[in-house]
Structure 1
Amino acid sequence: MRFMPAYKESRDSVKVPFFDKLVELSEQRPEEGARILRRSRIQKILVTTTWLCLVLAAAKPQWIGAPIEQQKSGRDLMVAVDLSGSMEARDFSLPDGTTLNRLEAVKRVLDELARQRASDRLGLIVFGAAAYLQTPFTDDHEVWRQLLGETEIGMAGPSTVFGDAIGLAIKLFRENASDNRVLILLTDGNDTGSTVPPIDAAKVAAANEIRIYTIAIGDPATVGEDALDMQTIERVSELTGGASFQALDQDQMHAAYETIASMEPELYESVSFRPKQSLHWVPVAAAVVLFLCYHLFMALWTWRQGRQSRAT
C-alpha cells in the first residue's frame, strides 16, 4: 500500500555462494531479506495505554453531581363518596337560591379541595351496593377532578356499604409507602350490609395508622333505610383519631373541609439525590484517538520516507 508499510514476517533462508548465478538464471530481482518485526517503544506504550483505557471503561466510571433536593407529596388522601340513590335529594341551596342535589354539592366542594391540596396525592373511591376504585392515588389533580365529575348517582348501586369502602381504602393505603394516610368519607345513610362492619373496618384502619374523617350529609331526622347512623359514623372517626362532621347545607360542608384542612396541614417530604452521569465513553474515546493518531503518524512517516528514497 502507498501509505501503510507492508506486513513482513521471518522465514527460513539458505545462504549459497553462487547467489548471483541463481538470480541470473531465475531472472528475478533480488529484494531485502526477511527480518523479525519487534514492537517499538511507542507501540508498547500504545498497547498498554489502550488496554488500561478499556479496563477503565469496563469499570463504568461515573460523575456524581452536587446534591439536589426535591419536594414531593407527603400525604395520601383518599376520598370515599356515597353514590346511593338518596344522594339525589335536592336539599342543598346556593346563595342565589339555586338548589343542588347532594352529589352536586359534594362535587363542588371536593373540586375546591383538590385545588387547595396541591401537596397531597389524591385518590377516589365510590360506593353504593359495593365499593369501587374510581381514581388511584395520583399527583395529577386535574385528572382526579375530571374523574370525580364523571361520577353519577346509582353507578355503584342503590345501597350504602361504607364499611366496604373503608376496607378498600385500607387495601390501597397498604400498597403505598406513605406514612401519612387520611380517608375522608362522605355518606348520607347507614351501612346496609357491608362484608366488614364499619366499626371493625375502622379498627383495622387504626392499626394501619389511617385517620378517618366522616362527613354525614343530609337531614339527621330521616328515617328508614336512608336514616343517618350518626353513632356509627362518629365511632368510626373516634377509633382512628379523626373527626366526624354533619353537613346540612353547603356552608356546613365547607366548614367541615376547612376544619379538616386545619387538622391536616399541607405536608411535604424532601427527597435528596445526586445526579450520576456515566463516563465510560471517555477512556474508550481516548483509546480510539490514540490509535488513530498513531496510525496517521505512521502513514505520514512512511509516505515521507518513500518520497525521500525515490528522490535519492
Structure 2
Amino acid sequence: MINLSWSSIEFIHPMWLWLLPLPLLITRIAPSYRTQQSAIKVPFFHILTEALEISVSDDASRLTPAKWQRILLSLSWVMILIALTKPTLLGPPQTREQFGRDVMVVVDLSGSMAEKDFTSTDGIKISRLDAVKKVLNNFAKTRKGDRLGLILFGDAAFVQTPFTADHDVWLDLLNQTRVEMAGKSTHLGDAIGLTIKRFEDSNNSQPLNTTSREKVAIILTDGNDTDSYVPPMDAAKVAKVKGVRIHMIAIGDPQTVGEQALDMDTINTIADASGGQAFQALNQDELINAYAEISKLEPQLYQSTTYRTKQSIHQYPVMLMLLIHLCFFGFMSCKYVWRKTVKSKGEHHV
C-alpha cells in the first residue's frame, strides 16, 4: 500500500513551484483577449449607455470566464507544476551492511590445554583453554562486521562454527568446547588445511557480484605438530596462494619437551609464509596483548549505510487533472443536453 504522508514525499525538481503565480501575473500584465460579435446599430445607442452608465469599447467585447472555469484552470496549472517537480515516494529506511573480513579462529584442544598455568585478573589459576575463552570473548566484541568461524583440532580437525556474523552464537559454541574433545594429539597441519577448505567453500557460496572478503586465520596452539596428513609448512604455502593470512599464537611453557614442546621455528615459519605474524604468550597478559596486536593488524572494515527506496509518483497529478477535466466536461455536457431537451419540450408544448 502506498504511503502518501508528506514526510515520505520528496520533490526532485522543486524549482518548478516558482511558476505557480505565473498565470496571475499574465492576467495582470497582458491585455485581455477580445472577440468580435454581431451587433445591431441603433441611432440612440449613446443615450442608452449614458442612462445605464455602461462603459463601452470599440469593435470587440471582453470574454470573462465563469467561476468554475477559473477553478478548473487553476487546479490544472497546479497539477501540471506538481507533476513537473517529479514527486517521489520514499520507502522505509533500510540498512545495508558490508562485512569486512572472514576470520577463522583455530583452537588447539589437546590434553595440555588443561594445564592451569595461567592466572586470571582475579588472581586465580585457570587452565590454558579457559584463558583462551576469556580473551576470545573480548576479541569477538572488537570484530564488528567480521564473520567469525571456529575450528577445533586435536587428533583431527573439525568445524565447530561455520562463518557467521552472529557473534553471540559463535561465543556460545566456543564456551561449549572441552579439552580433548578432539583428541589428545596436535594435528596442526590438518587444521590449517581444513581452514583453507572452509574459506574456499565460503567463496564459492557467495553471489558472483559480491566483493570477496579478506581471509584471516588465527591459530592458537601449545605444542608441535604430531603426524598430520598435511605437513604444516606445505599447508602454509597453500594458504599463501589462496590469500589466507595466518597469525600464530603459541602458549605454554617453552621449556616443555616431547610432543607438547613448542616448535617456535615452525610457528614463525607458518606465519611468515602466509603473510601473518607469530606471537608467544606465556601468561594471561601476553595472550591479551597478542589478540590486541592482531586487532591492530586487522582493523575493522565494517560499513553500514542507510538508504530509502524511491518510486516516482509524478503520473498521479496528471491522472487527477484528466479526471477532473472529464468530470467537469461530462457534467457540462449533461447539463447542455438537459437544457436542450427541456427547451424543445417547451417549444413543442407551445
Other-structure match for 1:267: 300
TM-score under structure 2 length normalisation: 0.59
Q: With a CA cutoff of 8 Å and minimum separation of 6, indicate the structure with the bigger relative contact order.
A: 1
Structure 2: segments with no counterpart, 5+ residues: 1-88, 204-210, 316-350
- Alpha-carbon distance in structure 2 between the residues aligned to 1:135 and 1:235: 27
Q: Identify the residue that residue 168 of structure 1 maps to in structure 2.
A: 194
1:42-191 correspondence to structure 2 within 5 Å:
70-174=96-200, 175-176=202-203, 178-191=212-225
Partner of 1:213: 247
Report the Cα offset of residue 268 of structure 1. Answer: 2.6
Structure 1 residue 262 displacement after superposition = 1.3
Could you say which residue in structure 1 is the equivalent of 2:56? none
| Superposed structure 1 runs of 4+ greater than 6 Å apart | 63-69, 271-275
Q: Secondary structure at the match of 1:259?
A: helix
Residue aligning to 2:230: 196
Q: How many residues end up aligned between the 2 structures?
A: 247
Would you say the 8 A contact 2:189–2:229 is kept in 1?
A: yes
What per-residue deviation string (whole Å, max 9, x for no partner) do you get for residues 210-236 of structure 1?
A: 111100010011011111111111100
| In 2, Cα distance between equivalents of 1:269 and 1:141 | 14
Which of 287, 296, 303 is residue 253 of structure 1 equivalent to?
287
- Is the Cα contact below 8 Å between 1:187 and 1:216 reproduced in 2? yes
Letter in 2 for 1:267: Q
Please identify, of 266-275 and 139-148, the stretch whose mean Cα deviation from structure 2 is larger: 266-275
Deviation at 1:258? 1.2
Cα pair distance change 1:105/1:274, threshold 3 Å: closer
Instruction: Tell me how far apart the structure 2 counterparts of residues 112 and 272 of structure 1 sit (CA, whole Å).
Output: 26
Alpha-carbon offset, residue 249 of structure 1: 0.4
- 1:212 is matched by which residue type in structure 2? I
Q: Quick one: distance in 2 between partners of 1:277 and 1:133?
A: 43
What are the superposed Cα offsets for residues 48-96 of structure 1, whole Å, 9 maximum, x if unpaired? xxxxxxxxxxxxxxx8979977342211111000001110111001243
User: Quick one: distance in 2 between partners of 1:96 and 1:234?
Assistant: 32
Counterpart of 2:148, as a letter, is L
- Asked if residue 233 in structure 1 is aligned to residue 267 in structure 2, the reply is yes
In structure 2, how many angstroms separate the alpha carbons of the residues matched to 1:129 and 1:278? 59
Identity over aligned pairs, percent: 53
Assess, with a 3 A threshold, how the Cα gap between structure 1 residues 267 and 94 changes in structure 2: closer, same or farther: closer
CA distance in 2, matches of 1:251, 1:270: 31
TM-score normalised by L of structure 1: 0.66
Work out the CA distance in 1 between the residues paired with 2:287 and 2:215.
21
CA gap of 1:74–1:227, structure 2 versus 1, over 3 A, is same
RMSD after superposition: 3.5
C-alpha distance in 2 between matches for 1:272 and 1:109: 31
Once residues 304 and 129 of structure 2 are traced to their aligned partners in structure 1, the CA distance between those partners, rounded to angstroms, is: 38
| TM-superposed deviation, 1:172 | 1.3
SS at match of 1:173: helix
Higher deviation after alignment, 184-193 or 69-78: 69-78
Check conservation: 2:189, 2:231, Cα contact below 8 A: yes
Report if the CA contact (8 A) 2:105-2:149 is conserved.
yes
Moved more, 269-278 or 176-185: 269-278
Deviation (angstroms), 1:120: 1.4
Please report how far the alpha carbon of residue 181 of structure 1 lies from its aligned counterpart in structure 2 after TM superposition.
1.0
